[in-house]
A and B are shown apart, each in its own frame.
Chain A
Amino acid sequence: MTGEDEDGRLGAVMRGAGTPDPGEGTLMEGLPFSRDIGMRLHSAGDGVALLSVPYDARLVGDPQTGVMHGGVITALLDTACGSAVMAAPAKLRSTATLDLRIDYMRPAQPGKRVMARAECYRMTRTIGFARAVAYHDTPEDPIASAAGTFILDRVARETGDE
């Protein structure tokens, strides 16, 4: 990931410009909790990941409105950022969240699937920096945004940072 295309691509990611149809995606079988709440991976590559979680009565946080619990959005954004880190061009065995900040801009609409688009925009030898947006139809109308740092477990020692 070079600095040159970083801003341009991130801008495109956040705008959702030129994004192909996310399609059905695949159920995240490897992560028991993600699978349990029906989380799907639509695409991952080049430090960008697109995930979603379907609306489900079991995920409701506010019984008076039927709005999904904020914790579901947290789980989605955390997994999306982690997936973006794993999808970055580096040989990683695994990654773990160090910290995650989430801003909630508006409640998710009952009955609708929530999408999350995440980008790992920078990596050092030990840390990946990621940000993500949760939305229904377009990232321009966000439900929540996240910024996180992830500790990297590299396959083998590498000399450079990039």
Chain B
Amino acid sequence: MSELPSHARAEAERDEALARLAETVAYVRLLGVRFDRMGDELTARMPFAPHLVGNPFLPAIHGGVTGSFLEIAGLMQLAWSVVLGDLERGGAAAEAVARGEFAPMPKTIDITIDYLRPGRPRESFARARIQKAGRRVAHVHVEAWQDERARPIAMMRGNFLMPRG
């Protein structure tokens, strides 16, 4: 990477850190969830796969999978905000991230999921918004959709305990 100009190196460093962060969680791999990054905002994507089905007659994605997807999107957005902070701080914190050593994952305190429409057999997307990033507790809203951004399939709000709080 050393031949890259510094701005491109910073972007590549962030993409690599995000890929590693997502890759470390087995359950995220089981659901096949990936992340796109635009600045500090992540979009979680979950391509359809037959093992994600709950109701084979409709067919529809398992409500537990949709709930998991929302929680994963919220947790990863929070974990990513911690990693970004470490990268921007530089020094030992940034070096740890570069080695693939991350802060402990945030812990879910409570979540509330509203199911608006059945999850059809196609790719799902989710974006989380951190409504409050307190020192100990963060409050997050997440929306998931499929074909149309304006027609969410499910929404979640939750409180999470932050690492190092």
Contact = CB atoms under 8 A, between A and B. Distances in A.
Interface of A: 30-34, 36-37, 57-64, 68-72, 74-76, 78-79, 82, 94, 96-104, 107
Contacts of B53: 31-33
A31 B30 contact: no
B111 A63 contact: no
B49 to A, nearest CB: 10
Question: What 10 pairs across the A-B complex have the smallest Cβ distances?
Answer: A75-B64, A71-B68, A69-B27, A33-B62, A74-B67, A32-B53, A60-B26, A70-B108, A36-B51, A101-B112
Interface secondary structure of A, over-half rule: mixed
Contacts of B114: 98-99
B72 interface: yes
Contact of B55 (A94, A104, A107): A94
A74 B62 contact: no
Given A31-B54, A76-B64, A82-B63, A99 B24 contact: no
A78 B68 CA distance: 11
Contacts of A72: 27, 68
Contacts, number: 127
- Range class of the B interface residue count: 35 or more
A34 B61 CA distance: 11
Interface of B: 24-31, 50-56, 61-65, 67-69, 71-72, 75, 104-105, 107-115, 118
Nearest to A104: B108
Nearest to A64: B104
16 contacts: A30-B56, A32-B54, A34-B64, A58-B26, A59-B26, A59-B30, A60-B27, A61-B25, A63-B25, A69-B72, A70-B71, A74-B111, A75-B65, A78-B64, A100-B67, A107-B107
B105 A62 contact: yes
A68 to B, nearest CB: 8
A74 B108 CA distance: 11
Contacts of A62: 25, 104-105
B118 A32 contact: no
